[in-house]
Structure 1
Amino acid sequence: MVSNGYHIVAGENGEDVNEETVNIYEAKSYRVVLPQLYSVCVASSFNLLTGMILSFSGIVIPELEKPDAQIHASIDETSWIASATSLSMAFGSIFSGFMVDHFGRLETIRLSALPSILGWLLIALAQNTAMVICGRIFTGLGAITALNASGPFVCEITWPQFRGSFLASICLASSLGVELIYLGGYFFSWKTIAWLCFCYAILLFIVTYFVQESPSWLIKRGRLEIARKSLHWYTKYQNLDDGEKNTAEMHLKHLTKQFHRINKKIQSKNPTNLNVLKRFTKPGTYKPVLTLIGLCAIQQFSGIYVITAYAVTFFENIGSNISPIICSNIVTGLPVLASLLNIFTMNSIKRNNLLMFSCLGMALSLFVSGIFTKWIQEGVSQEKWVPVVSLFVYMTMAILGLEPIPWAMMGEVTPSDNKGVIVGFVTVTVEGIMFAAIHSFRTLQQLLGSSGVQFLYGTIALCGVIFVRLFVPETFKKSLTEIEHNFHEKV
């Protein structure tokens, strides 16, 4: 049995390996993990930009709706500004999955900066709403391309004992990006923020040249010399008695054997001419795909990204007497601390327990907020602080489970064969659901009112508890091979 990436923890048939072999892959000091940590930081930096992209509509829409705005937008146009990114992310998932498999994990992350640069430039130079929407479309393409590549990249270059924390750091970066946008909205104009994001995207493109590609992917593509160079970089602080060179060679040898072993198992289960579409008929593919889509549908329609995209507008409608921009900063800012907590919880608590706790907490918070919103609007209550506190608890609960874990699981539960294409398929479906959730918000608000929308989202979050209990497999501290084997076995 093998672990993810190039870190082997058990023998070919599942037997224990000898102590000498185990020591090759154990971190005797945190210095050994520094190359992995740096690479994860680079990948996470792209997710910081993703958080900025998703939340930018929250500060620009209220400004465009003002009567004296230089660029004025109608309600229909603001709906497109908010949802344009999710629509382009859906279309971007179609080709980004192929890019991850054929161009490489790191190369795809690097290329994702290009549409982001163009998109932020269009927004910064915008003279009308059409330019803003076009800019949002390009930034959405960049966001989804980075998102599809960063999960597999981080999973493949990190050790199993650190993988949960490193995956949590990606979600932390996204939450921090959301808060930076709302904090910036308090001090700067939306065009100034667009220029800052433009410069940041250029910087990200440059720093990717100081990271090495996933050795796992390089070996799968037969590029052994480049894989050897990559492994030398990732193991440069893992100094064993035989020296650094032998350490990298040992990793290369084991990783190559792992690839051939997994490939042999795949070929024994599937004909060699089995194309990607036919693979979706196999339990090892369609079961994790359906599980992820179901979990992400609950994630989207429980309102996490709707509130992120419409935070200021949302708080204007719940009746709070606190400034909407301040409320937005509170609700999107303090959960960043919850994301920091995730670095520890995802490495010490089972994923399913976190998910069920998160869904239950979100549901209860939305029910309380919805009740008080209704009472405030009817004049029954003057406790206008309650919805704000409830929504803060809601976002904190979301960050602890339902927001980060489905994205992290995409790199864990999808089969290694054609992972990029399968992740791309799941993501295009999920982004389509996100588009529907964000674009329908204004319509739902008109039909159900602010309190009714919160009751709807709360009910869906509550359904998440049942879904996780019945259908979501546990991935906590399991190797990628164990997770994949579990789906193949349970037919």
Structure 2
Amino acid sequence: MVCFVSGAVCCNIIGHGCLLGFPGVLLPQLHAPGSSIAVTKDVESWITSVLAISMFFGNFMTPPIMARAGRKWAHYAVTLPVLAGWLCMILATSFEALLIGRVLHGISFGMFMPLRSVLIGEYTSPKNRGGFLTTIALAQAFGILFVHFVGSVTSFQMAAFISMFFSFISLLMTIYSPESPSWLATQGRYDECRKVFIWLRGHDETPELEKMIKATQVKEEAPTQKQNFLKEMVEVAKKKEFYKPVLLMFAVYIMLQFAGGTLMASYSTKVIELLMGPDVDAHFWMVALDTQRIFFNIIAVYVINKVKIRTMMFATGSLCAGCHLAMASYVYAKINGLLPFDSLWIPGILINLQIVSVAMGMVPLPSVIAGEVFPLQYRSLGGSISLVAVAGTIFLVLKTFPGLISLMGLHGTYTLYSGILTACLVVTYFLLPETRGKTLQQIEEHFRGKPLVDPETEGKELTPLNGSEKKSLP
């Protein structure tokens, strides 16, 4: 049952992976002789980067829906704009129509980012949660590969039409999926929560279920004072279990974008030609690297479920930063005639190692961590705030890349990226706890610094958040 509900989410992720990789097939066709839509370099950069602007607004649309109507209705809401965006792409006869389609795609992608990790994180068991959350990166990488392959053999309109079906199938699957048990608990619908939890995971993990329900009851029973919205947000921002995960996710999401996954999805042919030379078959390498990324994403599903999260993060992050610096050094040496010999094997190995680091860690790990570190009470809010880093850095990377290449060259650009990755790794070192095998409640208690449920009384006597006297549950 967990596979079915996760499959509904992953099917939509494939569709969103298609929209990320779509510029990689759209832009070459727009530049081809006889194209009915003329584009300049500035227009090209807007087609790729406008996604991030609308993502920013989409990030803040989902939390109210998630909190009030539930995760399932939020999933419905995510799917509508992506379908409308594909229709705009199919029918586009001007740059403006393409831009509207990309804006709708960005809204949907922004809405989906805080939802997808929450859905899979709340549906799955702690022992398998890392593997299931890793499928987010796998599904997204498959979508990028799929649209690159289809767009290489057909028109961008046909590629858009075919890509649209992934989100449509997800919509049908969502109809038959249950609501998240965590959200049902926050609404006081405990009987329904138990029924869905057991339907998803069976009876073996009921202790986690009861602890989650009791923790929710503590929050509901703790006396609250009415205060204005701004003051309430300030109080929330002071809580360790809120601001530490937000800062952590800012660093992790910035790493995600500067690692090169999104950049290669949109500018892969340009990067390949700059790194390996203008005579290389860039489209062949694009599909080959996408295929390799899928292969290592599949391996990552198993590895992340077995290896400590911190170990994976620092191993793949260090490899990625090192590959950026090595590629920068290679290009610099080639431009200045410092290489004793020139061979495609050198940049080929380096770009393949970069894709390994992206597929094994830089792309899947942020989704895993985002699905685990935010407390239930602030999961929607914290996820959306941290995703500001995603929208901001996607826009920054995609909009400035052509300009940086003209100003600094590929070697200067990749040196800058390597420095940013290293700085984010330092921040992550101090904030990221080990989450493998821990329940979401245990992770929340780690950031808070104390348990919500008194472990000595085994959940019979509960400590309210406001620090007042303990209350016993009936």
> Per the shorter chain, which TM-score range?
0.7 to 0.9
Show structure 2 runs of 5+ residues with no match: 451-474
Within 1, Cα distance between the matches of 2:150 and 2:158? 9
CA RMSD of aligned residues (A): 2.5
Which amino acid in structure 2 is aligned with residue 362 of structure 1? Answer: C
* Alpha-carbon contact 1:338-1:396 (below 8 Å) kept: yes
Match of 2:383 in 1: 423
| Residue aligning to 2:175 | 209
1:477 alignment counterpart: 437
| Amino acid aligned to 1:344 | Y
CA distance in 2 between partners of 1:266 and 1:475 (Å): 27
Aligned partner of 2:399 in structure 1 is 439
Cα distance in 1 between the residues matched to 2:388 and 2:267? 22
Deviation per residue, 1:165-201 (Å, 9 max, x gap): 1111121111111111212222122111011112332
Question: Secondary structure of the residue that 2:60 maps to in structure 1?
Answer: helix
- In structure 1, the partner of 2:50 is 84
- 1:50 maps to which residue? 16
Q: Distance in 2 between matches of 1:46 and 1:443?
A: 33
- Report the Cα distance in structure 2 between the residues aligned to 1:294 and 1:372, rounded to whole angstroms: 28
SS of corresponding position for 2:22: helix
**Residues 254, 169 of structure 1: CA spacing in aligned structure 2 closer, same or farther, 3 A cutoff?**
closer
1:255 paired with 2:209, answer yes
1:15-414 paired onto structure 2 within 5 Å: 35-224=1-190, 226-227=192-193, 230-231=196-197, 233-234=199-200, 238=202, 251=206, 255=209, 258-264=212-218, 275-320=232-277, 321-378=279-336, 380=339, 381-414=341-374
Check whether the contact 2:145–2:291 (CA below 8 A) recurs between aligned residues.
yes
Query: Residues 453 and 263 (structure 1 numbering): CA distance in 2 closer, same or farther, change over 3 Å?
Result: farther
Q: CA deviation at 1:481?
A: 1.3
How many residue pairs are counted as aligned between the two chains? 444
Amino acid of the structure 1 residue aligned with 2:437: K
Residue aligned with 2:135, SS: helix
Conserved 8 A contact 2:12-2:166: no
The change in CA–CA distance for 1:228 and 1:353 in structure 2 (over 3 A counts) is: closer
Instruction: Give the conservation status (yes or no) of the 8 Å contact 2:117–2:368.
Output: yes
When residues 399 and 267 of structure 1 are mapped into structure 2, their CA distance, relative to the original with a 3 A threshold, is farther
Distance verdict in 2 for CA 1:75–1:263, change over 3 Å: farther
Distance 1:411 1:117 in 2: 25
- Write the deviation string for residues 142-186 of structure 1: whole angstroms up to 9, x where unpaired: 223223212111111111111111111121111111111212222
Counterpart Cα distance in 2 of 1:361 and 1:46: 30
Q: What letter matches 1:171 in structure 2? A: A
Alpha carbons 2:251, 2:424 under 8 Å: kept: no
What's the % identity of the aligned pairs? Answer: 23
Deviations 1:283-342 (A, max 9, x none): 221111111112222332333322222112222322433211111112222021111111
2:466 is matched with none
In structure 2, what is the equivalent of residue 12 of structure 1?
none
Q: Deviations over 1:6-61 (max 9, x none)?
A: xxxxxxxxxxxxxxxxxxxxxxxxxxxxx011111111111111211111111211
CA distance in 2, matches of 1:463, 1:64: 38
CA, structure 1 residues 263+417, in 2 after alignment: closer, same or farther (shift >3 Å)?
Answer: farther
| Partner amino acid, structure 2, of 1:213 | E
- The one-letter amino acid paired with 1:306 is L
Instruction: Summarize deviations over 1:423-455 as a string: whole Å, max 9, x none.
Output: 111113321222112211111111111221122
Shift in alpha-carbon separation, 1:382–1:63, aligned structure 2, 3 A: farther
Which residue, out of 413, 420, 426, partners 1:453? 413
What CA distance in whole angstroms lies between the structure 2 residues aligned with 1:348 and 1:319?
36
What TM-score, normalized by structure 1, do the two folds share? 0.84
CA distance in 1, matches of 2:371, 2:4: 19
* C-alpha distance in 2 between matches for 1:226 and 1:437: 45
Tell me the CA shift for residue 229 of structure 1. 5.2
